[in-house]
Structure 1
Amino acid sequence: MKSFLTDIKDRFGDGNYEGDQFGGAQGNNGNGLPTGLPNNFMFATGIECSYPTIDHGTTRRDMLAECDHYNRYKEDLGLVKEMGLKVLRYGLPYYKIQRGPGKYDWEFADLAMAEMQRLGITPILDLMHFGVPDWLGNFQNPELVVHFADYCEQVARRYPWVRYYTPVNEIYVTAKMSAKDGVWNEQLKSDKAFVTALKHCVAASIMGTQQIAKQRPDCVIVQSESAEFTHELRAEHTPAVQLENLLRFTSLDLLYAHHPEGEALNYLYDNGLTRREYDWFMAGEPPGYQVMGNDYYGRNERIMLPNGEIVTSMDVLGWYSITREYYQRYKKPVMHTETNVFEAKEGPTWLWKQWVNILQMRKEGVPVLGFTWYSLIDQIDWDKGLATKTGTVNACGLYDLDRKPRPVADAYKMLLQEYGQITIVPHGELFEVTDRPATLKVEV
């Protein structure tokens, strides 16, 4: 009996059929460097821009200064382009720009933003990164909210071409390090101070987003937050550790109007959150297209031994498992917004491990918008959380402080060449990131 394949061969040839190039057997499999099309996965890096104060407000840690970015910003932005990257998490130095109510110094910001625009780099603009201007004091100041909202409005007006924002970076970490762990800024160590800092940062993010959305109704808000977890290796768990594993959600709970568990809510009420404030947070989500960015370092995941000793677990659950828990809670599109390791030789392996985590998340149908190796260049003193100024270089960048490539730069270039044109979700050419104003509430 004659096979149908015989007639197909006679009529259309032996494979390589005309038409297959349009997404068929000869279609693009997603490799090649990123193109920047609106359906493309967003491969990014970041420029470390933390600026908390230490020594009870007398010393400002400005990573843009300590890593010499102010002098070498053109070179640094050129390295982003040279990598083949289209997207950059970038933080303007808020503490240097807003000099007082209604007073701004845009000199450096204008230079850096103009160079980014010239190079065709899409910034995810980070507006508050672990610190505030001296005149605002610290995160205990309730006036921070309205003054930061004014700043956000001015930024959005001045750079109308910018669409992607992180209003307040890592809200939970900001509040914890400043007011619970006593390391930065107000350097307090109390539950009440922590809750005060937390609610002020979340409120600042919400009101800042309102002002951004007035200028850019299609704004995309990438809320970078630390993906935390503590494994308590005790037969009977202790309330304090279990509460901590709930409190890691509180920043996003308040931001996204998600009711916290009763234990966490009681903690917030016991430490200064009023019912009126809580009802305000629960009134609804901020405007714009909301993306949940999860930062993951091995040191975010900890193991508590039976004797109470804490050890770093490095990838027991990993970004995939921890972020999946966050995704199930909030049902937001996801981005891997920060990762690195401090040992240069371990960088390539860590990069590939993070990419495996992202591929696993994509297999489950979760929309993952992008990935970020953080940061472009090495950092300083992050092995001690910036707590003391010793000048220790952390070899976690794609490039060292002399702007010479680390091994992870070549690994990232290989990854970009292989996957650079994949879409956010499979068949994502059908579902491009729209430039229409955000209008819909999302219900699952």
Structure 2
Amino acid sequence: MMLPSFFMGGFECSTHRRDDGRRLDLLRSSRHDDLALEDYRLLVRHGIRAARDGLRWYLIEPAPGRYDWTSAVPMVRAAKAAGVTVVWDLCHYGWPDDIDIWSPEFVERFAAFSAAAAGMIREESGAPGWFCPVNEISYWAWAGAHVGMMNPAVTGRAGELKRQLVRAAIAAIDAIRRTQPDARFLFAEPAIHVDGGSGPLEHREAAENYRLSQFEAYDMLTGRMAPELGGTPEHLDVVGINFYPDNQWYLGGSTIPLGHHAYKPFRRMLRETFERYGRPVVVSETGAEGTARPAWLHYVAAEVRAALAEGVPVEAICLYPVLDCQGWQNERVCPVGLLSEADDGGTRVADPAFAAELAYQQTILPKPVAANDAALPSAAVGRIA
């Protein structure tokens, strides 16, 4: 295993502007930025020693080339103190207001920020960093430039935004690797299934084309698609796939429910991703709401075990988000996490049923190796074509 626990805790760290212009900051609204040490220690108490978390670019770079790390350093130190390995999101939907996302400056500034962030993390943690350069390129392109529900809040430019975000991700990886060749990279893209039902051939072909679009960002990163962006196989290190209960639907129709004959088993989605890229796979986000949380984890974990038995190198499952947090469009606190919203005293409590299911799955899923056994083939996967 590449990480110190098979389960990860994912902290929702979106910082985008909604289409009404309001800036969200989920690390602030969940109070994780203030309670990072306590939150990491709670993860460890539940057997979780790896996490996804975020650096808020819009706060860190208040002026071009000037970095203020006061929002980030305490979190990096808290992770080190708690013994939690963090995959740091460098751009989770948000960026500084003075940059035009469509410009070459966006790519250049993001690369410089990423290199500076990696240097800070190396200095504070004393270890090679793990990074998710740009979170959910495919979803961001759809939400920000197809339906316009988040920044840049336009329509009809999803393909253009996807390419720009891939350019930025490639530039960030190259900038980090120039000084830290041992840095590791995890991307996180939605895994979807789109079914054409029993409609005409043209409808079923359209559904399959939509389904295959889930791979475009990874194909661009590896240079299979749009090679002019600069992608190579070496730019794809660990492949993350995000999987939720609503990630399967009929083209132009309703969500396909779990157990339906058209529902694609998650193990097949994991295997298809691995066979396509030959990279280690992480379930980089998964979760459900309310009483569905333990049942959904039970299903996902069983499918991961089945994929492992078929030889798919699944390295981790990230519970996302691991904290109950406010929804993007309103102030409703969504019961999606292992851990509750903090009370006035900063205390969070675990959902009992979810915690019990997690504890059960930890007894039957892979265990981390000892430090002196860590010379695994995966330790060098960042250089495997």
TM-score under structure 2 length normalisation? 0.88
**How far off its partner does 1:365 sit?**
1.0
Give the aligned partner of residue 151 of structure 1: 113
SS at match of 1:369: strand
Are 1:52 and 2:11 matched, yes or no? Answer: no
Q: 1:217, 1:437 within 8 Å by CA — same for their partners in 2?
A: no
Given candidates 281, 286, 289, the residue that maps to 2:229 is: 281
Change in CA separation of 1:218 and 1:224 when aligned onto 2, cut-off 3 Å: same
Matches of 1:225 and 1:283, distance apart in 2: 17
Given candidates 169, 177, 182, the residue that maps to 1:205 is: 169
Change in CA separation of 1:165 and 1:230 when aligned onto 2, cut-off 3 Å: same
Matches of 2:247 and 2:61, distance apart in 1: 32
Are 1:397 and 2:345 matched, yes or no? Answer: no
**How far off its partner does 1:86 sit?**
1.2
Change in CA separation of 1:436 and 1:367 when aligned onto 2, cut-off 3 Å: closer
**How far off its partner does 1:317 sit?**
1.3
Q: 1:206, 1:286 within 8 Å by CA — same for their partners in 2?
A: no
Matches of 2:3 and 2:216, distance apart in 1: 32
Are 1:432 and 2:376 matched, yes or no? Answer: yes
Count residues with an aligned counterpart. Answer: 369
Give the aligned partner of residue 338 of structure 1: 285
Matches of 1:39 and 1:297, distance apart in 2: 23
Change in CA separation of 1:338 and 1:39 when aligned onto 2, cut-off 3 Å: closer
* 1:258-407 equivalence runs, <5 A: 258-259=224-225, 278-281=226-229, 284-287=232-235, 290-304=237-251, 308-314=252-258, 316-343=263-290, 345-381=291-327, 386=328, 388=329, 390-402=330-342, 403-406=348-351, 407=353
Q: 2:107, 2:167 within 8 Å by CA — same for their partners in 1?
A: yes
Matches of 1:62 and 1:122, distance apart in 2: 22
Give the aligned partner of residue 345 of structure 2: none
Q: 2:305, 2:365 within 8 Å by CA — same for their partners in 1?
A: no
**How far off its partner does 1:246 sit?**
2.8
Give the aligned partner of residue 83 of structure 1: 46
Give the aligned partner of residue 84 of structure 2: 121
Are 1:219 and 2:159 matched, yes or no? Answer: no
Partner AA of 2:244 in structure 1: Y
Matches of 2:165 and 2:318, distance apart in 1: 23
Q: 1:98, 1:105 within 8 Å by CA — same for their partners in 2?
A: yes
Report runs of 4+ in structure 1 exceeding 4 Å deviation.
37-41, 433-438
Change in CA separation of 1:283 and 1:212 when aligned onto 2, cut-off 3 Å: closer
Give the aligned partner of residue 7 of structure 1: none
Q: 1:258, 1:282 within 8 Å by CA — same for their partners in 2?
A: no
Partner AA of 2:31 in structure 1: D
Give the aligned partner of residue 270 of structure 1: none
Give the aligned partner of residue 6 of structure 2: 42
Matches of 1:78 and 1:151, distance apart in 2: 29
Matches of 1:356 and 1:436, distance apart in 2: 28
1:7-56, Cα deviation, whole Å (9 max, x unpaired): xxxxxxxxxxxxxxxxxxxxxxxxxxxxxx75866321111101111134
Q: 1:303, 1:313 within 8 Å by CA — same for their partners in 2?
A: no
Q: 1:171, 1:201 within 8 Å by CA — same for their partners in 2?
A: yes
SS at match of 1:74: helix
Q: Which runs of 5+ in 1 are unaligned?
A: 1-36, 260-277
Partner AA of 1:215 in structure 2: T
Given candidates 135, 140, 143, the residue that maps to 1:169 is: 135
Matches of 1:422 and 1:437, distance apart in 2: 18
Are 1:95 and 2:58 matched, yes or no? Answer: yes
Moved more, 217-226 or 175-184: 217-226
Partner AA of 1:49 in structure 2: C
SS at match of 2:210: helix
**How far off its partner does 1:312 sit?**
4.5
Q: 2:195, 2:208 within 8 Å by CA — same for their partners in 1?
A: no
1:308-339, Cα deviation, whole Å (9 max, x unpaired): 43335347214322232222221211111110
Which of 1 and 2 has greater Rg?
A: 1
Give the aligned partner of residue 411 of structure 1: 357
Partner AA of 1:149 in structure 2: A
Aligned residues: CA RMSD: 2.5
**How far off its partner does 1:433 sit?**
5.4
Q: Which runs of 5+ in 2 are unaligned?
A: 343-347
Give the aligned partner of residue 221 of structure 2: 255
